Structure 1
Amino acid sequence: TMSSPLSFHHRVSSKSLSSFLFIAVLFVCLLYLSTTTKANASSAPITISSIKNSPYIGKIREILSDKLDALSWNEKHDSILTLLKLKQPLDTYKTQCQTLNEIETLDSLADVYHAVAVEVALKCSHSKHFDALVEKKVNQFFTQVAKDHGNASMQDYYYFARILILKNDLFKSFVAKHMADFKKVFSYLGQQDISNVADASYQIEAITALSKKLGGPKVDTVFDALFAASKYVSQVAHQINPNTSLKDVSLFARAANKLASMSKITSKFPKKVNEIMARILLNTNLTDAAHDPKSFVEHAFNQVDAIRALESSPIYTPVLIGDVQLDNEHHKLIVHARDISGNIPKDLKLKRAYSAANSKTYILEDEKLKVDHDNLVLDFSKDRNAVESFGAKVGEFIFEFATKDDYVVSRSVKFSTNVEVQSFEMLIYEKSQYPQVISRQPVQYPNEMPHITVETAQQFLEVQVSLSMKDASSPVTPQQVFIHFYPHFDSDFARGRTFKLKQSTLGTYALKLDLSKDDEDFRPIDGDYAVELIVGDSFLTQPIQWNVGQIRLSFSKEYEPTEEEKHWTVRPEIVHIFQPSEKRSHGIISLFFSGMVLVPLVAFVLYVLKISGRNMFAQLPSSPTFFFANVALQACIVAMIGVLILYFFSWRILTVLKCLLTLAVLAGFIGAYALRGVSTRRIERKAGAE
Structure 2
Amino acid sequence: MLTAMIVLEEAYEGLRTFEVLGIEKKPDVKDHTCKSVVDTLSSVSSNSRDLYHALRVNGILKCRISKEDLTGIVLRFKGAVKDAASLLDYYHSIGGLLLVKDQSSEVDVHLENADGILRSIKALSQSDGRWRYSSNNPESSTYAAGLAFETISGVISLAASAVDENLIGTLKKDIVKLFDSIEKYDDGSYYFDDKHIDASGHQGPLSATSAVVRGLTAFASTSESLNIPEDKILGLARFFLGIGVPGNSKDLFYQIDTLSHLENNRVSVPLILSLPATVLSLTTKDKLKVKVSTVLGSTAPPLSVKLMQVFSSGSRDASVLKQELHFDPKEAVHTLDALPEGVDIGEYVFAFEIVLSDPEHKRKFATGGRTKVPVHVTGVVKVENAKVAVLEGDIVESEKKLDLPGKNDLALSANHLQKLHVSFLLTTPFGKPFKPHQALLKLRHESGVEHIFVVGNSGTHFEITLDFLSLVEKFYYLSGQYDIELTVGDAVMENSFLQPLGSIELDLPKAPEKSTQPPPQAVNPYLRYGPKPEIAHIFRVPEKLPPQEVSFAFLGLVLVPFLAFLVGLLRLGVNLKNFPTSAIPATFAILFHGGIAAVLILYVFFWLKLDLFTTLKTLGVIGIFLMFVGHRTLSHLASASAKLKSA
TM-score range, shorter chain: 0.3 to 0.5
Name the TM-score, length of structure 1 as normaliser.
Answer: 0.45
Name the TM-score, length of structure 2 as normaliser.
Answer: 0.47
